[in-house]
Amino acid sequence: MAFPDTRLRRLRRTAALRDLVRETELSPARLIAPLFVASSAAPITAMPGVSRVTISGAVAAAGELAALGVAGVLLFGIPDQKDAEGSGAWDDEGAVQLAVRAIKAEHPRLVVITDVCLCEYTSHGHCGVLRADGGVDNDASLELLARSAVSHARAGADIVAPSDMMDGRVGAIRAELDAEGFAELPILAYAAKFASAFYGPFREAADSTPAFGDRRGYQMDPANRREALRETELDIAEGADIVMVKPALPYLDVIAAVRAMTRLPVAAYNVSGEYAMVKAAVAAGAFEERAVVLETLTAIRRAGADIIITYHAEDAARWLAQT
């Protein structure tokens, strides 16, 4: 049946009817807020509204997020000292490890996820250790990443999330967690992580800009969707419990493709540059922040993400509570 018998506007007539037939739900229970934990608090200029926090600041932020019904936090640590190996990453008294313990003690229901990577901890800013020729040594990095994940597990993390893009890291982390008595700890793999210019503001936040070169030797080429599916298949075969696509908005097609190829939960990371773009446009008076953020997050859910990691989490949760 076509017009005039069929009129799609009938179900758009009132807010109640639109609510009744909405296909995609957005709820704070789907959102994860990233937190940058450091020894001193400081605003991040490239990300208006986001700051580095101390351990006590992280506990306070976690409390506000929990009260708003946000599912969890993703922790990044900024160490005071960096070295060539990134040894701060597996320091049991490091910022992330201390923050995990403090947050879990105060807010046990909040899901605490830790980012497992070396780039915040290495003096050269790469996500793994370097060979003599300056290239990133994949296999030598695996052991260090696994060691970091175990340290996060000992601190009480609910999920570990490797973001380094070394080949084989999910399997290496799974094996080490199991050997150390953490067989029940899930891994959220940054499965399809692209070498994206949208990470720019994060690198200021985490002080992790590579000292030379770039990350294209390990992160994915933005042009490749089939390869994203291969990466995802491999991470699943190695034992990933949740797979992630990152960034989110410029990669909705990849989210949809990953959603179609697996039964695992799919996460998407609405990254720092996506956030900064919205903030800059709002500051320029281009559009209304609330409407754009909720539309963006809904679009990421519609593409197939079960879980969204976003710097808008707290604002979005507040706005959702008002609607």
Assess whether 246 carries a catalytic annotation: yes
Q: What is the number of H-type helices and E-type strands within the chain?
A: 11, 10
CA distances from 226 to 39, 183, 255 (A): 41, 31, 12
Residue 125 CB, nearest distance to ligand PBG (Å)? Answer: 9
DSSP 162: E
Q: What angle do CA 278, 58, 166 make, to 5 degrees?
A: 70
Rounded least distance, CB 9 to ligand PBG, Å: 39
Q: Contact, 303 vs 268, CB < 8 A?
A: yes
DSSP 65-113: HHHTT--EEEEEE--S--BSS-GGGG-TTSHHHHHHHHHHHH-TTSEEE
User: 169-179 and 138-155 helices cross at what angle (nearest 10)?
Assistant: 40
Nearest CB to ligand PBG, comparing residues 202 and 251 = 202
Shortest distance in whole angstroms from residue 203 CB to ligand PBG: 6
Of the pair 229, 276, the CB lying nearest ligand PBG is at 276
The two structure tokens encoding residue 297: 């997050």
Minimum separation from the CB atom of position 96 to ligand PBG (A): 12
Listed in order, strand segments (DSSP E) in 117-216 are 159-162, 188-193
Q: Which is nearer to ligand PBG, 3 or 96 (CB)?
A: 96
Nearest to 32 by CA among 117, 158, 146: 158
- Binding residues vs ligand PBG (CB under 6 A): 115, 117, 119, 127, 163, 199, 202-203, 215, 271-272
Burial of 109 (0-12, 13-18, 19+ CB in 10 A): exposed
Cα R_g (the chain), whole angstroms? 20
Of 82, 104, 246, 279, the active-site residue reads: 246
Are 136 and 118 contacting, i.e. CB atoms less than 8 angstroms apart?
no
**Catalytic residue selected from 82, 104, 193, 279:** 193
Compute the least distance from the CB of residue 232 to ligand PBG, in Å.
17
Nearest distance from residue 299's CB to ligand PBG, in Å?
Answer: 18
Question: DSSP label at 122?
Answer: B
Residue number with CB closer to ligand PBG (51 or 106): 51
Q: What span, in angstroms and rounded, lies between the C-alpha atoms of 177 and 175?
A: 6
Instruction: Pick between residue 134 and residue 181 the one whose CB is nearest to ligand PBG.
Output: 134
β-strand partners of 266? 243
- Minimum Å gap between C-beta 198 and ligand PBG is 6
CA distance 267 to 189: 9
Residue number with CB closer to ligand PBG (24 or 85): 85
Select 311 or 319, whichever has its Cβ closest to ligand PBG: 311
Catalytic residue IDs: 193, 246
